Amino acid sequence: MERSDRPTEEWIALGEKYVMATYKRFPLVLTHGSGMRLWDCDGKAYLDFIGGIAVCALGHCHPRVVEAIQAQAAALAHVSNLYNIPPQIELAGLLVENSFADKVFFCNSGAEANEGAIKLARKYGCDILGGKYEIIAMKNSFHGRTLATVTATGQEKFQRGFAPLPDGFVHVPFDDLEALENAVNEKTCAVLLEPIQAEGGVRVPRETYLQGVRRICDENNLLMILDEVQTGMGRTGKLFGHMHEGVAPDVMTLAKALGNGFPVGAMLATDRVASVFSPGDHASTFGGNPLAMAAGKAVFKTLTEEGVIEKGARTALYLEEKLITLKNRHACIREIRGRGLLVGVELDREAAPIIGRCIDEGILIGSAGTHVLRFLPPLIVEPRDVDHLITTLDRILEDA
């Protein structure tokens, strides 16, 4: 790949000068992508095992998605949601016909989708449940960076410095049905949780946990809201993470892989719940615009028509097998956990130095907390890519 017109150091210096410092960035300037690979401005290639944090399920610049965006850009980029938008209606139809839901609201991100779900639950509590407003969320969860979603997030580090936080959120331990049941009171209107806690350390609950949450919600007339921003769109081996347990929520949020890099978020709900929203209750200027919907349609059809989810699930088993072998060779690996291609490897030491060494070796991986390596490769990852990752990690852990 060709080099950029500026070297890495110059780009980084300009970024520090002009871009607000809300991210702790790695010293990389990425300019090109194709499939499983990215290239930096100096022409160095990287194997991508983090996929834009679960966004690029189809890899980088997938031809079907590129073609859809280019064609839509040449036809119509934006009109207001005051008008009907055919690709929006078509993507909503695909999501509804392949899920529990009856209606879809489109937005631009996971945080915006969760913010919409929180507002919907509050409106349902107000209109249907006689003024109930409290939402039970989980400790160690992550739901976004807006003020309401930061409050719903069960990690103090994300809330520090932003008090006073909105009222009406309580947190209970994840995977603890007794604690959840005890937290329900006369003010509770909904339960919000991730099927697998991703940012919180890649924590998979026991097999019947979601069924238990569903039961508690049914017995107490509460909404069950699933945040599938990271677990959705085939990441766990099924289209949506909750499908592993055969339960259906009342509300579900999606984003990340839904646009494969084009910003798309969605909130799905049953008719019973969605009907409490009237025109003017909620909106998003750019949500569901033609470009985003064209990208979303291409992603959805590629994932479901070309066997990408099933292929990803098979490679996930291969990755798990190789990671177990790696664990047997290195005592610093405490645990391997996850589902599908959402995988965490807990170490007995900080993950950051290992991630830095992987970057040096041309592999991008992530973390979940301080001691967990997080792997979220595109679902198109091949066994030979896994072999390269494992060989590299083996060498790095040998020296660590």
Helix or strand or coil: residue 49?
A: coil
Residue 5 has a pLDDT of 84
Q: How many Cβ atoms sit within 10 Å of the Cβ of residue 102? A: 14
Residue 7 reports pLDDT greater than 80: yes
Residue 322 has a pLDDT of 98
- Kindly report the pTM of this predicted structure: 0.97
Over the stretch 100-112, which tens digit does the pLDDT of each residue have?
999 999 999 999 9
Local confidence band at 399 (pLDDT 50, 70, 90 cut-offs): confident
Whether 329 and 116 have beta carbons less than 8 Å apart is answered as no
Residue 2 has a pLDDT of 59
* Residues 132, 129: Cα–Cα separation, whole Å: 6
Residue 252 reports pLDDT greater than 70: yes
Over the stretch 366-375, which tens digit does the pLDDT of each residue have?
999 999 999 9
* Residues 374, 396: Cα–Cα separation, whole Å: 16
Residue 279 reports pLDDT greater than 60: yes
Local confidence band at 21 (pLDDT 50, 70, 90 cut-offs): very high
Mean pLDDT of 74-93: 97
Over the stretch 120-133, which tens digit does the pLDDT of each residue have?
999 999 999 999 99
Angle at 336 between CA 338 and CA 179, to 5 degrees: 60
* Residues 119, 366: Cα–Cα separation, whole Å: 31
What number of H helices and E strands is found in the chain? 14, 15
Nearest CA to 64 out of 340, 231, 290, 305 is that of 305
HSE value, Cβ hemisphere, 13 Å, CA-based, for 159: 19
Over the stretch 134-162, which tens digit does the pLDDT of each residue have?
999 999 999 999 999 999 999 999 999 99
User: How does 339-354 read in b/e, with b if 16+ C-beta sit within 10 Å?
Assistant: bbbbbbbbbeeebeeb
- For residue 257, the 8-state DSSP code is G
Residue 400 has a pLDDT of 77
Local confidence band at 4 (pLDDT 50, 70, 90 cut-offs): confident
Which amino acid, residue 143?
H
- For residue 369, the 8-state DSSP code is S
Q: Residue 328 corresponds to which tokens in the numbers above?
A: 């047997």
